[in-house]
Structure formats: structure tokens, C-alpha cells
């Protein structure tokens, strides 16, 4: 029994529910057209335009107790639509859920709204007219009789809880302010709660941004970018003010935290703060306007950054939004004009309104990197800060420094060329000028002003190809965009203590891959300059790797022309020694030359101009011309190692010589003379000369004048001119008045096997007394002696029938003298 009662009660309940639902459906269908017309009437009574729909449908008990009405083919037009032909609203479907309780009271209280597949288009024309005038108060429009009923509107929307947009596009086109905002709500839901006059909203879903162009000439933010929104907001209809509480916007894989406000008054602004923890700059550039992105891209600095962006956007004015950015980068690599910077980290700020008195924009933009650190080539620590202004034509102001322990830099050099052994290097600099580009290839110079200082402390390095070691190197160097001023550069090379000062031009452009000439003008002082190391010079060999600094140094050296004023208390090379040396010296990769070098040498004064060239070839060339005053002839022969011959040496000569000379010769790679290449001319005066222990002269004694001392022959003043050609020294006939006899000599003296000298001795010498002062000539009878080199041995040939031989041999002798 009880079971059947339960069944009956249940059936009664279902029956009652069915009757209720049926009643509701009957009621809904009964009032279907009335509801449709009521909705359109309520909407049209509160707008300055017309809302139309092609069809109407409803669903009872949708989402609980209530009814959902759907309008199909919905169009909303303002009163000026016939003129501008732009619908404010065009939807395939607009669904409105009505509270069920209000239906029984014949009232409409909207609980939710769904817009599906369509578009919303807002515009402002050049005259300032906007189709949003459809929502303006009726009594503010002339000729309008409609009166808005705020109470009715509040009754209609006061319980609105949810708005959903599916594939609904939105555009705002402000021709007057040259602005355009376009997006598409793919699936966007806004949960709403009305608290007094304040709407609280939670907006979530997917949106595709076509672009946010607050000034179309400057480009658009979020151009063709999909996004996901999770936003919390409030909106006051009375003040037209939208506040955004901390929310999240995801663009691709990057999530941004967003907060701020939108003042929708006629002169309102959007003020936003956007924060991201880790976004790659390359992706961030795709979010901002292309023109600004292209400008930033030119800097080629695109790290991962943590950034906070603050924007002040005039919504209805034709002015640039104000942008402020605080950023901190993660470590990144940057290819600078002078080489790679690795593991760079930077902290800084950006604003596009550096001067508050001027409008925002590229010309008024400023990027301040207050702390940048990294490693030049991954090795040299760098610290710098810089400011970039005027992003239309970026202007850079930068200060920084490099500091390094030199041995840590060996990885930057070819180990076959350089070895940095000790010391510290510091370089500080300041640059102001154009940033893009910094270097002007047409002028081979910087597009700005540079000032800097470089310092070396107790440095030591080796130049391996020439086995040269330098130590105790200290320097203080100032540089600008044109010159390098060497205040001092002190170093030791072997026993040489070198002190240098001067300036260099054309050097800095090599950091930017220049290949122009480098000129150096310096002063060099040393108390004791030894040049024996020159003999160890080796021909440079090709680089075996591509180390940057080795290539850079080699490139500079190949174009370097060094002009120096040399001052040395002493100079020595092999047997050559000089004092108080002063003159000009020129160096290049292929040449060393001196000009008007004065010194005290050989017991007299020495002036010389000359040099060695063709260092890059197997055979070098030595050339010189100069003047010697009152020098010790023995010391001259000793210093020049008897000029490469052994017949007459410094052990045979003494006296004082003054001479003008010119000389040239090839040198081997070991800096040895090549006798066959020698050329020269020597005009000399020998005073108080002596010829001692000279074997060719002593042979004459064995035949003639045996009682005279030919072992030590003293001369009166001798004056003559010699011409050197290869290994032959041609001399004009000259008179030699000595302590043992007077003779005339001329012809060719050879350093090898071609000596052919003609010696004429006046016979008056046969009766000469030691104290005889008679001047002898060739007018009388003479003894003719011919000195010939035969098979490496000097042979003397003489003739007894002097007059006959003299007449017959006169012409041949003349030829001999003029060789």
C-alpha cells in the first residue's frame, strides 16, 4: 500500500511540474510577439537611432529559472546612417536571457547577453561626428522628442550578470585624430555585477588584435596578435571611467601583468602599467608599432628582459601616447662595431617624452642604460652607461671603461706572434655623437666626439717572430676621434731604456675595419741605444689563425708610417759607437730610414741621412749619404768593420779625415753586405795620416829604398775623390807626399781580384833626404810601378827603361786613371 502511495505522489508531482512548464510555455508563446516588440521598443526608446532584427526566438528555463530571447540578423544604426553608411552594430545573433520572475510581472530584467558573429564599428569623422551619438541623452540633441528613462534602463540592465562575445569584431576609427583600434573577440566572456552605480567586471577569453593605432602614422601596437585576457575591472557610467585592477594578458607565450585606467571622457586618457618578467626583445618588438620597432632594431640589442611599461594614451586626441619603460636584461651577446661583447647585462629606462614641455614621440625619446656590464671578446671586462636620444636620428652619449690583467688576454692573440706576460691595462672613454652609424666610411672617421684615456702598468710582452721581449712598460695615453696623444710610453728592451711621447693619427678607425694609412709622430729618448738586435730580424711569416688583435696589429703595422725625433746619449751597433745622437727617424713595415742625424762619432762629428728598406724581401737595401768632420780614420774603418774588405784595415791607418760620401748596398737577411752591389762616392781630405804595417807598400821597400822606413809611413794632407762600383774603388790620380817618398797613384782598387793601380814615383825621390821639403812632380823621370791582383795576390810590376816605357804606355795609363 505505502509503495503505491509513493508512486501516486510522485506522479502527481511530475504532473504538476509538467502543467507548470506547459503553462509557462503557453504563456511564453502567447506573449512571444509582445515580448519581441517590447524588447525593440525598450531599446529604441533609449537610443538616438534604430535597432532592428529579422527574427525572434526564445528558450524557456535557460540556465535555470528564466527565458532566453534571441534576435537574429540584428542591426543598430544611428540617425545619420543614411549619410555615412556605417552600422554601429551588425550581428547574426543577439541572445538575451531574461529573469523569469520579471516575466510574470510583464517586465524585462536582462540577466545575460550573448553577441555572436558580427561586428561593432565606432567612428568619429573629420567634423567630430560619431555614431556613438546614438547613446547621447535625448534632450541634448536638437529636434529630438525622445526622453531617456534612467529608471527603466536600470530596471532593464540592473541584474545583468554576463556578456559573451563569440567571433565579434570591434573597430574604433577616429579620422579626426588619425586613430584606429581593431580587434576580434573570438570567445570573450565578461562577468558583471552592478553595485550601486558601479559595474564590476571580470573579462576572460580569447581576442585577436588587428592593431591599436593611437596615431596611424606611428603604427599600431599588437598588430595581428592573438591574446588571452584575464582582467578584473570596474566601470562607472556616471563618470565614464574604467579601472583595470591587476590582470593578465597573454600574447603568444608571453604573459603580461596589466593594471591602469581608461577615462572615456572627450579628453580622456588611458593610463596603463604593463609588466613582464621574461620576454625576448625580438618578440616584444612585434607588439609595439613597427616604426618604433624598426628604430630599436637598428641598435641590434635584443635580449630577454624584465620590464615595466607605463603608458599614458590620449584616447580621443591626435597626440602620441607617453611611454615609460624600466627594464633589466638577462645576459646576452652583442656584436658591437669594434667586436663582440659577451654576457652583457644592462639596467635602464626609456621614455618617449624626455622633455615634458615637448610632445611625446621619437624626436623626444630617450633610452638611459645606467649600468651595463659585459666582457669584450668574452675576456676584457667592460663597464659602461649610455644615453640614446632622438630615435629618428639616434644620438648617443656614452661613458665606460675596460680593465684587464694582460696575461688573461693571450687568448685574443696568435700565440705564434705575441705573448702577454704581465701587467694591467685600463681604458676609459666618453663618446657623444650619432649612433647609427657611429663610423662614417666615407670620411673614415667617427660621427661624433670621442675622448678617452688608456694606461698600462708594469706590462711585459714578447714579440715572438723577432724574439723581442719588452718589460717594465708604463704608459699614459689620451685619445680622441682623430688622434692618439702619447703623454709617455716607457719600456725596456734588453738594455735599452726607451722613453716615448708623441701622437698618432688614423689609428682609431682600425677598430671599425679601416685600412687607411696610420701616421705616428713621436719623440724617442734613450740614454744608451743598442741596435745589435737588428741582426736578429726575421722575415715576417703568415698568420696561422684569425685572432682578432693579431690581425688588427698586423694590419695597422702594414699601414703604419712612424716619424720619430730620436735623441740618444749613446748609440752602438756592432763596432759602431756614437754619442749625443739627434735626428729624425722613419719606420714602416718595410723601411727604416734616418734624416739629418747628427752625432759625435769616430772622434769627430758625423751627419748622415740614410736607411734600410725592403724588409719584406729576401734582400734588403742600405743607402746613406753624409758628412764626417775631423774624424779619426782608424775609428771610421773600425766602426764600419773595414767596409767588408781585408786588404787595408783599421790596424794600418791613422790620421784625421773629413769627407762627404754617398753609399748604397744590398744586405742579406742577416744584414751582411753584398759587395757586388755596392755603389758610392767619397770625397775626402786626410790630415796627418799614417799607413802602418801595410804589406803592399812594404814590398816596394824590398826592391827600392831599402833604407827607408816603409813600416810606418806618414803623409801630408791628401785630398781626392773615390767612386765605388761593386767591389772596385776607382780613384783619380792623386799626389801622396809621405815620410818615405812622394808618389802619384790612381786607378782601381778592388776588394777582390781586380786591383789595377798605377804608381808613379819621381826619380828625384832616390836622393831624397828625410828632411827634404822639395815638391816633387811628374815632369822629370819617373819610376812606374803597376800593382795588379793576380789570383788573389798583389803583384808589383815595374819598368827600368822609364822614359821609353812612359812614352809607350802613356795612353794606356790615362785609360787606367779614368776607369
Rounded mean pLDDT of 737-764? 78
Separation between Cα atoms, residue 363 and residue 368, nearest integer Å:
15
**Pick from 230-244, 294-308, 401-415, 569-583: least confident:** 294-308
How far, in Å, CA of 624 to CA of 680, rounded?
9
Give 118's strand partners.
Answer: 91, 168
The whole-number average pLDDT for the span 109-130 is 87
Is the pLDDT score of 315 beyond 80?
A: no
Query: Would strands 529-530 and 518-526 be described as parallel, antiparallel, or unpaired?
Result: unpaired
Question: Closest by alpha carbon to 799, among 790, 694, 812?
Answer: 812
- Whether residue 814 is predicted with pLDDT greater than 50 in this model: the reply is no
Whether residue 106 has pLDDT greater than 70: no
Q: Which whole number is the average pLDDT over 423-451?
A: 88
Given a cut of 80, is residue 346 above it in pLDDT? Answer: yes
Is residue 69 over pLDDT 60?
Answer: yes
| Residue 815 pLDDT level (bands cut at 50, 70, 90) | very low
Cross-strand pairs, 307:
276, 327
**DSSP, residue by residue, 648-703:** S-TTTEEEEEEEEEEEEEEE-TT--EEEEEEEEEEEEEEEEEEEES-HHHHHHHHH
Q: Is the pLDDT of residue 399 over 90?
A: yes
Looking at residue 811, its pLDDT comes to 38
* Residue 257 to residue 395: CA distance in whole angstroms: 32
Most confident of 295-304, 454-463, 589-598, 808-817: 454-463
Dist CA 818 CA 756 (whole Å): 12
Residue 305 buriedness (CB in 10 A; 0-12 / 13-18 / 19+): buried
- Going by pLDDT thresholds of 50, 70 and 90, the confidence category of residue 16 is very low
CA distance 805 to 813: 11
Distance between CA atoms of residues 653 and 658, nearest Å:
14
Q: What is the pLDDT of residue 9?
A: 41
What was the pLDDT predicted at 28?
Answer: 53
Query: Each residue of 449-458: pLDDT tens digit?
Result: 999 999 999 9
Q: What residues are paired with 94 via a beta bridge? A: 71, 115
Nearest one of 510, 502, 523, 508 to 567, comparing CA atoms:
523
pLDDT value, residue 805: 43
* Look-up of cell digits 699614459: 476
811: exposed, middle or buried (Cβ count in 10 Å: 0-12, 13-18, 19+): exposed
pLDDT of residue 128: 81
pLDDT at 579 over 60: yes
Crossing angle, helix 32-45 and helix 150-157, to 10 degrees? 130
- Residue 252: predicted pLDDT: 78
User: How far are the Cα atoms of 131, 136, 173 from residue 80, in angstroms, in the given order?
Assistant: 8, 14, 16
pLDDT of amino acid 803? 44
Cα–Cα separations (whole angstroms), residue 731 to 104, 652, 683, 735, 745: 143, 19, 10, 12, 8
pLDDT value for 280: 66
- Tell me the DSSP string of 183-227: EEEEEEEEEEEEETTEEEEEEEEEEEEEEEEEEGGGEEESTTEEE
Q: Is the pLDDT of residue 644 over 80?
A: no
Q: Check residue 514 and give its pLDDT.
A: 77
Residue 547 has pLDDT above 70, yes or no: yes
Residue 171's Cβ-count burial label (10 Å; 0-12, 13-18, 19+) is middle
Q: Work out the average pLDDT over 387-393.
A: 88
% of the chain beyond a pLDDT of 70: 77
pLDDT band at 802 (very low <50, low <70, confident <90, very high): very low
User: Of 228-242, 261-275, 330-344, 536-550, which gets the smallest average pLDDT?
Assistant: 536-550
219-235 b/e with 16+ CB inside 10 Å = b?
bbbbbebebbbebbbbb
Residues 531, 528: Cα–Cα separation, whole Å = 10
More confident site: 122 or 160: 122
Residue 289 confidence (pLDDT): 64
Question: Mean of the per-residue pLDDT values for the chain?
Answer: 78
C-alpha cell at 781: 823621370
The C-alpha cell at 768 is: 831624397
The pLDDT assigned to 499 comes to 92
Coil, helix or strand for 581?
strand
What local confidence, expressed as pLDDT, does residue 258 receive? 86
Comparing 373 with 9, the larger pLDDT belongs to: 373
Taking the C-alpha atoms of residue 85 and residue 79, their distance in angstroms, rounded to an integer, is 11
User: 319, 359 in Cβ contact below 8 A?
Assistant: yes
DSSP-assigned states of every residue in 442-496: TTTEESEEEEEEEEEEEEEEEEGGGTEEEEEEEEEEEEESSEEEEEEEEEEETTE
- Cβ neighbours for 801, distance < 8 A, ≥ 6 positions apart: none
pLDDT digits (tens, 9 = 90+) for 763-778: 776 665 555 555 567 7
- Is residue 577 over pLDDT 70? yes
**Mean pLDDT confidence for 715-722:** 82
Report the interhelical angle of 2-30 vs 32-45 (nearest 10°). 50
Q: Specify the residue for cell string 618588438.
A: 285
Higher pLDDT, 763 or 803: 763
Distance CA 223, CA 174 (A): 18
d(CA 185, CA 162): 15
Is pLDDT above 80 for 317?
A: no
Nearest to 548 by CA among 379, 667, 668: 379
Asked if residues 376 and 343 have their Cβ atoms less than 8 Å apart, the reply is: no
DSSP character for 575? T
What CA–CA distance (Å, rounded) separates 688 from 684?
13
Say how far apart CA 429 and CA 609 lie, in whole Å. Answer: 41
Going by C-beta distance under 8 Å and a sequence separation of 6 or more, which residues neighbour residue 325? 307, 308, 309, 310, 349, 350, 351
Q: What is the pLDDT of residue 704?
A: 64
Cell of 242: 574604467
* Share above pLDDT 90 across residues of the chain, in percent, rounded to a whole number: 16
* pLDDT tens figures, 602-612: 888 889 899 88
Asked if pLDDT for residue 809 goes beyond 50, the answer is: no
Q: What is the mean pLDDT of residues 790-816?
A: 52
**Tens digits of residue pLDDT in 202-219:** 999 999 988 877 777 777
Amino acid at each position: 500500500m505505502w509503495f503505491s502511495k509513493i508512486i501516486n505522489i510522485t506522479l502527481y508531482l511530475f504532473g504538476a511540474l509538467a502543467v507548470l512548464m506547459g503553462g509557462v510555455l503557453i504563456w511564453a508563446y502567447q506573449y512571444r510577439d509582445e515580448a519581441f516588440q517590447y524588447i525593440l521598443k525598450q531599446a529604441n526608446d533609449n537610443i538616438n537611432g534604430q535597432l532592428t532584427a529579422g527574427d525572434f526566438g526564445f528558450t524557456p528555463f535557460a540556465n535555470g529559472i528564466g527565458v532566453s530571447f534571441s534576435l537574429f540578423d540584428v542591426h543598430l544604426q544611428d540617425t545619420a546612417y543614411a549619410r555615412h553608411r556605417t552600422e554601429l552594430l551588425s550581428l547574426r545573433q543577439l541572445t538575451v536571457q531574461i529573469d523569469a520572475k520579471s516575466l510574470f510581472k510583464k517586465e524585462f530584467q536582462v540577466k545575460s547577453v550573448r553577441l555572436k558573429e558580427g561586428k561593432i564599428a565606432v567612428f568619429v569623422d573629420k567634423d567630430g561626428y560619431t555614431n556613438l551619438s546614438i547613446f547621447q541623452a535625448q534632450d541634448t540633441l536638437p529636434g529630438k522628442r525622445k526622453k531617456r528613462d534612467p529608471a527603466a534602463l536600470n530596471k532593464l540592465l540592473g541584474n545583468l550578470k554576463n556578456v559573451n562575445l563569440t567571433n565579434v569584431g570591434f573597430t574604433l576609427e577616429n579620422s579626426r585624430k588619425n586613430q584606429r583600434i581593431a580587434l576580434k573577440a573570438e570567445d570573450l566572456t565578461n562577468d558583471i555585477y552592478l553595485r550601486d552605480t558601479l559595474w564590476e567586471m571580470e573579462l576572460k577569453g580569447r581576442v585577436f588584435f588587428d592593431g591599436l593605432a593611437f596615431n596611424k602614422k606611428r603604427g599600431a601596437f599588437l598588430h595581428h596578435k592573438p591574446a588571452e585576457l584575464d582582467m578584473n575591472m570596474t566601470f562607472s557610467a556616471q563618470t565614464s571611467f574604467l579601472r583595470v585592477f591587476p590582470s593578465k594578458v597573454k600574447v603568444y607565450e608571453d604573459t603580461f601583468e596589466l593594471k591602469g585606467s581608461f577615462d572615456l571622457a572627450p579628453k580622456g586618457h588611458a593610463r596603463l602599467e604593463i609588466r613582464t618578467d621574461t620576454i625576448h626583445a625580438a618578440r616584444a618588438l612585434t607588439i609595439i608599432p613597427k616604426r618604433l620597432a624598426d628604430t630599436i632594431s637598428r641598435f641590434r640589442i635584443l635580449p630577454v628582459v624584465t620590464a615595466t611599461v607605463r603608458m599614458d594614451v590620449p584616447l580621443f586626441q591626435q597626440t602620441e601616447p607617453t611611454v615609460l619603460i624600466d627594464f633589466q636584461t638577462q645576459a646576452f651577446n652583442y656584436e658591437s662595431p669594434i667586436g663582440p661583447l659577451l654576457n652583457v647585462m644592462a639596467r635602464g629606462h626609456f621614455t618617449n617624452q624626455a622633455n615634458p614641455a615637448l610632445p611625446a614621440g621619437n624626436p623626444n625619446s630617450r633610452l638611459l642604460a645606467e649600468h651595463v656590464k659585459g666582457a669584450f671578446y668574452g675576456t676584457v671586462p667592460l663597464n659602461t652607461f649610455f644615453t640614446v636620444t632622438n630615435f629618428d636620428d639616434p644620438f648617443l652619449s656614452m661613458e665606460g671603461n675596460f680593465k684587464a690583467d694582460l696575461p688573461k688576454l693571450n687568448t685574443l692573440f696568435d700565440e705564434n706572434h705575441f705573448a702577454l706576460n704581465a701587467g694591467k691595462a685600463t681604458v676609459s672613454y666618453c663618446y657623444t655623437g650619432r649612433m647609427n652609424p657611429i663610423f662614417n666610411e666615407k670620411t673614415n672617421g667617427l660621427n661624433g666626439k670621442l675622448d678617452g684615456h688608456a694606461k698600462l702598468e708594469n706590462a711585459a710582452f714578447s714579440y715572438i717572430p723577432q724574439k723581442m721581449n719588452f718589460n717594465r712598460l708604463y704608459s699614459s695615453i689620451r685619445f680622441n676621434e682623430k688622434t692618439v696623444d702619447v703623454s709617455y710610453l716607457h719600456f725596456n728592451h734588453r738594455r735599452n731604456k726607451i722613453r716615448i711621447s708623441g701622437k698618432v693619427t688614423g689609428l682609431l678607425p682600425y677598430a671599425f675595419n679601416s685600412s687607411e694609412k696610420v701616421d705616428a709622430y713621436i719623440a724617442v729618448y734613450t740614454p744608451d741605444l743598442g741596435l745589435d738586435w737588428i741582426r736578429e730580424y726575421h722575415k715576417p711569416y703568415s698568420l696561422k689563425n684569425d685572432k682578432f688583435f693579431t690581425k688588427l696589429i698586423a694590419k695597422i703595422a702594414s699601414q703604419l708610417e712612424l716619424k720619430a725625433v730620436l735623441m740618444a746619449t749613446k748609440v752602438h751597433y756592432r763596432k759602431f759607437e756614437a754619442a749625443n745622437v739627434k735626428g729624425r727617424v722613419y719606420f714602416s713595415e718595410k723601411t727604416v730610414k734616418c734624416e739629418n742625424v747628427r752625432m759625435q762619432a769616430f772622434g769627430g762629428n758625423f751627419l748622415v741621412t740614410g736607411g734600410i728598406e725592403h724588409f719584406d724581401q729576401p734582400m734588403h737595401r742600405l743607402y746613406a749619404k753624409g758628412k764626417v768632420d775631423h774624424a779619426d780614420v782608424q775609428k771610421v774603418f773600425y766602426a764600419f768593420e773595414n767596409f767588408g774588405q781585408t786588404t787595408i784595415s783599421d790596424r794600418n791607418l791613422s790620421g784625421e779625415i773629413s769627407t762627404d760620401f754617398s753609399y748604397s748596398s744590398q744586405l742579406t737577411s742577416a744584414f751582411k753586405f753584398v759587395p757586388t752591389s755596392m755603389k758610392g762616392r767619397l770625397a775626402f781630405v786626410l790630415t796627418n795620416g799614417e799607413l802602418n804595417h801595410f804589406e803592399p807598400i812594404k814590398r816596394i821597400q824590398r826592391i827600392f829604398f831599402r833604407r827607408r822606413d816603409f813600416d810606418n809611413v806618414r803623409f801630408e794632407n791628401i785630398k781626392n775623390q773615390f767612386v765605388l762600383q761593386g767591389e772596385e774603388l776607382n780613384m783619380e790620380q792623386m799626389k801622396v807626399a809621405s815620410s818615405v817618398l812622394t808618389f802619384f797613384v790612381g786607378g782601381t782598387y778592388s776588394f777582390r781580384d781586380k786591383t789595377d793601380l798605377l804608381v808613379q814615383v819621381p826619380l828625384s825621390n832616390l836622393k831624397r833626404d828625410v828632411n827634404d821639403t822639395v815638391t816633387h812632380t811628374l815632369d822629370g823621370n819617373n819610376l812606374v810601378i803597376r800593382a795588379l791582383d793576380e789570383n788573389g795576390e798583389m803583384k808589383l810590376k815595374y819598368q827600368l827603361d822609364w822614359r821609353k816605357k812612359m812614352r809607350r804606355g802613356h795612353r794606356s795609363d790615362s785609360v787606367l786613371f779614368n776607369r
